[in-house]
Amino acid sequence: MTFTRRQTLGALGTAAAVPALSTGLAACGSAGEQEDGTSLTILQYEDPTTAQGQGWKRALELFQEKHPEVTVDFQQTSFDAVRQNAKITLSGKDVPDVIEFNKGNADGGQLAAQGLLTDLTEQVSSRGWDAKVTESMRSFCQYEDGMAGSGPWYGIPNIGEYVTFFYNQDLFDQHGVSPDITDLDGLEAAMDTFFAAGITPIASSAATSQGFNQMWIWYSLVCAIATRDQIDDFMFVKAPVDFSAAPWAEATERFQAWIERGYVGTGISGLNFEQATVNFLSGKAAMVMWNHGVFHRAASEADFAWGWMTMPGANLVMGSSGHLWGVPEGARNKELAYEWIDITLSEEVQNLIGGLGGLPIAGDPSAITEERTREYTEGFVELMDANTLSYYPDYPVIGFLDFIQEHMQAMSNGNETAQEYLEALQSFYDEGTQK
């Protein structure tokens, strides 16, 4: 895959304020009750001020224009609350009609395997959702015996995401570094320049709670040299994975070298991703690795010119669809739930999300009028169309997110070597996948 560099951006004004979502109130449906068509309860955890949240605000308006007789309860919760309580929520007496849930075997796969989600395959076909959710975007919509990649559809995404380096163009210019880098050796040479000047090359984090940056840097190094088959074998448990061989060993050893050289800073074991983002936006680091969340933050908060780039010379780039809509098996009003999902995939809603920089999976990038947002979206579409998105590393195994973060912290502290991590990774993965 050729290296992608997107437009360098100057400092921008703050984004316009957006109103909060307003909804009616209704009790959740009770499992097993007959559909009455008078209420719709939606349980979700997106920030209403984001592009996706604003798209769903418009979707609510469209839904209620079509169904003025229906009372909609649009409930706001948190990602962690759904992850921790989904089984209880979906197996209880009061069940929402639509729920947003995390993709992957550890979350969506378990809910599907436990019979808590409705099989959406018939709706996918009859409503044409399979024409909108394509290739890598559908990989974590389908589950067979709790394993992603094939089988019935249980979830539908609205947006996608991909992980890039965001860089401080002012710092690059001041130190004679060009972002036109073609490979990992060139990236390391650039980071050596920053380090020698007393500048942290990459703002990072390694807290065991939301210290995601180190995990994303490590996995991006794996994906940079991995093949499609190697990632799919790991992600969808298609074949045994040898973590002592390529690409895992080479990438993890390189990752350890980056830690030892100071490329990711020091004292990061207690930092979370928000603190890493702030360190980048305050000019304390030349780069940060993140998804579209930093794109929007930089647009409103950065007082320096900035740009973004994929990992130089990478074969595959970390990213996937966004979180999923699902319909609980015990939902009362499933037909209304299907209509809601359909509206969120409509051209109007998808293009609204796209215009606000939300990376819609079924939008038209050419309809985006703002240049930087259009180019950022086009970069995602290129990766999506080429099937070069490599998903997120915590998806295959239950408990993998906590496991990886604990070991990222240990490596970042210098308390664990690449070899020790790979051995632990092999054991945890094999046990979790029963290989």
DSSP notation for 144-176: ETTEEEEEEE--EESBEEE-EEEEEHHHHHHTT
Q: What is the DSSP letter of 243?
A: T
For residues 1 and 220, is the Cβ–Cβ distance under 8 A?
Answer: no
Label the pairing between strands 29-30 and 160-162: unpaired
Strands (E), 256-305: 285-290
Of 41, 103, 18, 22, nearest to 331 by C-alpha is 41
What local confidence, expressed as pLDDT, does residue 3 receive? 37
What local confidence, expressed as pLDDT, does residue 435 receive? 63
For residues 286 and 200, is the Cβ–Cβ distance under 8 A?
Answer: yes
The four Cα atoms 353, 137, 337, 77 give a dihedral, to 10 degrees, of: -70
What local confidence, expressed as pLDDT, does residue 49 receive? 86
What local confidence, expressed as pLDDT, does residue 434 receive? 87
Of 313, 382, 427, nearest to 135 by C-alpha is 382
- Residue reference for tokens 């094939």: 150
Strands (E), 230-364: 285-290, 306-309, 319-321, 324-326
What local confidence, expressed as pLDDT, does residue 66 receive? 96
Of 286, 78, 92, nearest to 170 by C-alpha is 286
Q: Which class would CATH give 29-160+321-369?
A: alpha beta
What local confidence, expressed as pLDDT, does residue 7 receive? 45
Q: Do domains 29-160+321-369 and 164-316+397-433 have the same CATH topology?
A: yes
**164-316+397-433 maps to which CATH number?**
3.40.190.10
What local confidence, expressed as pLDDT, does residue 34 receive? 64
By three-state DSSP, how is residue 197 classified?
A: coil
Q: Which residues of the chain have pLDDT under 50?
A: 1-32
Task: Parse the chain into domains and list their residue ranges.
Answer: 29-160+321-369, 164-316+397-433
Count other Cβ atoms within 10 Å, centred on residue 85: 13
- Between CA 22 and CA 5 the distance in angstroms is 39
| Continuous H helices in 152-272 | 169-174, 184-196, 213-225, 228-236, 248-261
What local confidence, expressed as pLDDT, does residue 26 receive? 38
What local confidence, expressed as pLDDT, does residue 33 receive? 53
Chain mean position to CA 336: 27
What local confidence, expressed as pLDDT, does residue 16 receive? 33
What local confidence, expressed as pLDDT, does residue 83 receive? 84
- Between CA 274 and CA 372 the distance in angstroms is 23
